[in-house]
Amino acid sequence: MTTEKPSAMSSNKPYLVKAFYDWISDNDLTPYIVVDINVYGVLVPMNYVADGQIVLNIASSAVGTIALGADTIELSARFGGKLEHITVPYGAIGAIYAKENGAGTSLPIEHPSGEEVEMLEDVPQTDKPSKKQKPSLSSVTSSGDDKEKAAKPKSKSKASLKIIK
């Protein structure tokens, strides 16, 4: 009897995330994902990142478009009134859960290996982030005018709101 060494299996995260997304959505709940922005390939609006993470509402009713692809989730959503394109590799997802009751699961963060990063770099330019973005791929931000407006509270109002996560 021969014992062949099994080939390495692909990650099960895309399958798990898609299954939980469908399950949560089918139960008329709101699917949220927790994303680690330090994973190669993550593109999110940095103004909304806290402690290296961002929580995204990925319900089809909350986003302009969403595609749960083989390697990444891509979606467009509004942040502060500005439409942003978001790219999240499945390896960057630390949890998927229903907003209303917390049902879901946590997942291990998976950083791509050096070979996987090199393969991504060999993809034609239209399918990958620009070389300028490579050191910090989580660099989608709002324009400078938006930052200035957000930083200056209106003089008529003394109330302020601080979001704590």
Average pLDDT of the chain?
79
70 within some domain: yes
Overall domain count for the chain: 1
With cut-offs at 50, 70 and 90, classify the pLDDT of residue 133.
Answer: very low
6 within some domain: no
75 within some domain: yes
What are the start-end ranges of the E strands in 3-151? 31-36, 53-57, 65-68, 72-79, 82-89, 93-98, 104-106
* pLDDT digits 0-9 by tens, 102-114: 999 999 999 988 7
Closest of 37, 132, 150 to residue 45, by C-alpha: 37
Number of C-beta neighbours around residue 75 at 10 A: 21
| pTM: predicted TM-score of the whole model, two decimal places | 0.68
CATH code assigned at 135: 2.30.30.220
Residue span of the structural domain in which 136 resides: 13-141
The average pLDDT across 159-165 equals 57
* pLDDT digits 0-9 by tens, 75-85: 999 999 999 99
Query: Beta strands 104-106 and 93-98: pairing type?
Result: antiparallel
Query: Bridge partners of 25?
Result: none
